[in-house]
Amino acid sequence: MTKKKIIRSKISDAEIRKLVVERLRTLPSGKQISIGNQGSFNKDELIEKVELGDSLGKKIIKVELEFLRALKKGEFFDEQEFSDN
């Protein structure tokens, strides 16, 4: 039996921030994103917040990572998780 070699490398916070920033660049420029009572922001302002690493930036990172994890798990195509029942 062949053993699958699992390579786990730790991704740094800086790399995660970079990934999130690149993903945020795909947002349309002309839209506003309103976040709770923290205000409304355009794409460039969100990128700035992520680069700055303040509380809003951290929240945006969470939003992106949760979405990416769901994509990886195939949640959107999981009949049980994503059915109307």
Partner 1 sequence: MNKSFLITRPNHDYATNYLFCWSASIINLARRKNFRVVDLSKNEASPSLRAGGGFIFMSDPLMVTKPLRDTTAALFLKPSNLVASTLLKGHSASEADVRAKKAFKRNIRKLLTSETQKEDSSVLRFLFWDMKHQVCLGDAGASL
Footprint of partner 1 (CB under 8 A):
26-28, 30-40, 59, 63-64, 66-67, 70, 76, 82, 84
From CA 49, how far away is CA 61, in angstroms rounded? 10
- The rounded distance, in Å, linking the Cα atoms of 74 and 67 is 11
Query: Measured from the CB atom, is 9 or 37 closer to partner 1?
Result: 37
Q: Which is nearer to partner 1, 2 or 43 (CB)?
A: 43
- To partner 1, the closest distance from the beta carbon of 1 in angstroms equals 38
